[in-house]
Structure 1
């Protein structure tokens, strides 16, 4: 939702914004109870001293003293006769108070440096909080605070400039009495960058910038010194993505709106174009078994969606681990970069099935290679049934010790002899790799006296 005003009112506010940055004082002509006039007063007061007069009689000559430039604006509905009356009154006051020579000298003394002017300056000294500069063509000394040197809150002045550096700056505030001016580098860069941003908005040119901050509505990107707002819906490709993680990143974006101080951009329009090219390349070269480095984008109860080049493929939960897992988060998390391979794909429906678990990690392969039939070992009991006990051979593989293979003596109830957690010595007696079944025997490890043979 955007606040809207009529074009005439908007134009008048923009003119007041520009004019107030170039003048020492501003006079706003209009009714004291007029909403438009009071808004103009607020706009002008951001940059300089401003007063509101309804008629010429309210103008105090003393208020104009010491001002080299006075700007005048008025509400859109203010009668032209009142505006002319105020202007005439101001002109008379200037003529009455100053001779022509005095006015000329005052103008020349202040013409070199005024609010909003771009000046060249040379760095005289540097401190942690500011740097002192000499303004070319003027006797004035300039101060550039750290906040006016860089948008980076972690920046250090000594890393940004050194004595003798020549800088292009914008005059933020003048102080003719003391001869000290406040200058800004970030505002110069913003003015310079504003032209590029405006042209990019017209031409659809892709620009680059650094994400400075995030708020409830989206993120703010510094593009050549210009603050560009990117709405939350235009910041990421997916609604469930955390857009605040963009802070500190260097991004590409397009300018979608540039009207006065309202500059809006879109990151995902650039991302969408880049992804489109990646998708076309993916579908042109994909094949079963091909490996990709992908990024986990989201998790569901049945698997993980992985971006493998502009295309999201599903890695089913059964393909994430050889062990039984209840949720994909036991193996991966959003943002992880993992290696996957294509199990199957459907170009017509744009679907890809991925695999993550590696064959070399298959516990059944390890069992076949490392534990031959006849091997004896000690392992924990993991569950008890009426017909025997299951023993954990290795992660992902359990073998059954049948009730008849527990002891040389008759066992009527497995729980009378064993309980979960017991460490028992067993012998691998048979393996059915097709049916994934393993037979173990405790009895085979006992001698004739029923004791452990070892």
Structure 2
């Protein structure tokens, strides 16, 4: 097997400068402690070496004290961060990459000239965050053509710069889109030459190699881009952080050529160690040693960062014990399990259950092997998220925290950012109720482990579209559905039937007259409705809510019969009669001719609204909701003429028979006439 090492690999100029600056710090020249603001580079081995030297990484400036020494990493920082450091009176050792410094100057100058700054890169990357700090945080940040296309058109002047590790071809394509969005567009070539050389060399080598090994931190942006380039040309591409991960290579004896490249944050000694192990494997191959056997042998001598499999043999409140087939048992902290809300120790930690983990320490101080399931889950989780992204499959994640602009969910230790607009298919003001709950997410963007974006909204809309299609295929008048009141208007209530909204007109909400739908329903109510109208062309559904049995006229003929004497209250009067309420929702009509024995011109001559009257039922017609009544048939109400006593007198005052006496004679009348 031939091993070919890319000519351009390992530390770039800026990283090399930053690392040398940090390791050359003289502690006797610093009055206080020594820190790096954030991890100096994305490489675990270098960070560990700095820790041993006494240089710790911090992310919060508030942790600094006066006279502390702070090393600015190669990624650089924003202008306001420099000001905050100076206010704390700390010593600043600036190891910002010169290429990044140049971008800072461009952005500061063009921002002061009134240009809209556009940064092409990963918005979560420290380099991009630092660049944005030189235009008061007002830059537009785009990572792909889609985001550029979504920008609003503007008549402003625009200046574009790119993250130094961004792919040149991608930057060019994005800028072509940006030119269509702004009246004037200016582009600066800010991609580091070392990045271009590495990517070009990796592309060339991956086209001729049988397998590619990319060495570097999994959270390193430029390493991830090298991995993506190599994988496009060579399917058998492996990303490793150090030589201990080489056993993940398979079918090594069938490989004729293996190419090696490394990210800009990878030290030379790590690259040399990998090459040494590869050469050792080659010698073992020539000695006809089967690689699978070599892999088995590697487990007999467990090393840090090895991936191991074992069987659970027991647990307590703090630890889970694993049989590794090794001279010592493995221990996984119980804390790594309880983050899962569905975790059940009796079910998930049964003795004999196989488990996969990563060795974090060969001896935890008590003779056991310290293991991490969480780190293992993160590796497998990233692989699963990659597959889910490629195959457009949803994953179930746990919402962890609300951050600026959205929600962060976690899938097997991998963080997924969900923009606020993608949490639901409607506006959600407060995202905190989602925290701690399981949510289904579709991965919409996956640049690397540090930049994974998901959407719940896409899945919700897809599900609604499926339900809507099924609904329109089966809906017909008379069918009943259960839905949720979505909104209220003056003319009715909209109900979500599961992907389709229907309208209950205000007249269909209640059998009695109402002025507003809120008198009957409120948003969020679960309701059972029936379809009373379907317009497939306009996609409109009319719904009925009021039930037949609630109709006060329901089986009215069984309650009121012709000849019945009933009591009611006068509700309103019209020229031809008076409407009388018999019960809520049921009114009958007393025609003007059925009020009095005497002729009256208007009902209000003898009646008043609110008056209680007795009546006889003359007719009941449920089909047209009509009940005819008569007051005259029970107790007529005659009008009172001027000078007359009221027609309606007490019963005891009325004569029982006609006893009028004639006291005037004809002679009397003749005498009066004379």
Change (3 A) 1:404 1:321: same
Task: Tell me which residue corresponds to 1:209.
Answer: 396
Secondary structure of the structure 1 residue equivalent to 2:339: coil
Instruction: Output the TM-score relative to the length of structure 1.
Output: 0.61
Distance 2:324 2:401 in 1: 37
Secondary structure of the structure 2 residue equivalent to 1:215: strand
Distance 2:607 2:523 in 1: 48
Pairing 1:98-109 to 2, within 5 Å after superposition: none
Residue ranges of structure 2 left out of the alignment (5+ in a row): 1-13, 20-37, 58-68, 78-91, 96-216, 223-263, 270-297, 598-603, 637-648, 653-674
Q: 2:419 is matched with which residue: 231, 236, 243?
A: 231
Larger Rg: 2
Kept in 2, the 8 Å contact 1:305–1:314? The answer is: yes
Secondary structure of the structure 2 residue equivalent to 1:324: coil
Kept in 2, the 8 Å contact 1:231–1:266? The answer is: yes
Kept in 2, the 8 Å contact 1:407–1:450? The answer is: no
Task: Tell me which residue corresponds to 1:298.
Answer: 487
1:119 matches 2:308? yes
1:362 matches 2:551? yes
Kept in 1, the 8 Å contact 2:511–2:552? The answer is: yes
1:33 matches 2:71? yes
Distance 1:382 1:210 in 2: 65
Kept in 1, the 8 Å contact 2:487–2:494? The answer is: yes
- Mean alpha-carbon deviation: is it higher for 20-29 or for 360-369? 20-29
Instruction: Output the TM-score relative to the length of structure 2.
Output: 0.44
Higher strand share goes to which structure?
1
Secondary structure of the structure 1 residue equivalent to 2:427: coil
Distance 1:170 1:406 in 2: 97
Q: Per-residue displacement from partner, 1:288-347 (whole Å, max 9, x unpaired)?
A: 444444343333333222233532222222222223334434444444443333333333
Secondary structure of the structure 1 residue equivalent to 2:340: coil
Distance 2:628 2:94 in 1: 101
Secondary structure of the structure 2 residue equivalent to 1:239: coil
Q: 1:345 is matched with which residue: 523, 526, 534?
A: 534
Distance 2:551 2:541 in 1: 23
Change (3 A) 1:280 1:20: same
Change (3 A) 1:129 1:158: farther
Change (3 A) 1:155 1:393: same
Pairing 1:33-432 to 2, within 5 Å after superposition: 33-36=71-74, 112-114=302-304, 116-139=305-328, 141-145=330-334, 147-153=335-341, 155-171=343-359, 176-180=364-368, 182-201=370-389, 203-213=390-400, 215=402, 217-223=405-411, 226-239=414-427, 252-258=440-446, 259-375=448-564, 391=581, 393-394=583-584, 396-398=585-587, 414=608, 428=617, 430-431=619-620
Change (3 A) 1:84 1:194: closer
Tell me the C-alpha RMSD between the 2 structures: 5.4
Change (3 A) 1:433 1:188: same
Kept in 1, the 8 Å contact 2:508–2:545? The answer is: yes
* Superposition deviation, residue 192 in structure 1: 1.0
Change (3 A) 1:156 1:291: closer
* Superposition deviation, residue 180 in structure 1: 4.6
Secondary structure of the structure 1 residue equivalent to 2:418: strand
Distance 1:175 1:399 in 2: 94
Distance 2:336 2:573 in 1: 76
Secondary structure of the structure 1 residue equivalent to 2:555: helix
Distance 1:294 1:435 in 2: 32
Kept in 2, the 8 Å contact 1:254–1:270? The answer is: yes
Change (3 A) 1:132 1:399: farther
Task: Tell me which residue corresponds to 1:88.
Answer: none
Distance 2:321 2:355 in 1: 11
Aligned residues: 376
Q: Per-residue displacement from partner, 1:61-103 (whole Å, max 9, x unpaired)?
A: xxxxxxxxxx9xx9x9xxx9xx899xxxxxxxxxxxxxxxxxx
Distance 2:567 2:342 in 1: 59
* Superposition deviation, residue 397 in structure 1: 3.0
Task: Tell me which residue corresponds to 2:44.
Answer: 19
Kept in 2, the 8 Å contact 1:293–1:308? The answer is: yes
Distance 1:225 1:388 in 2: 77
Kept in 2, the 8 Å contact 1:279–1:310? The answer is: yes
* Superposition deviation, residue 405 in structure 1: 9.3
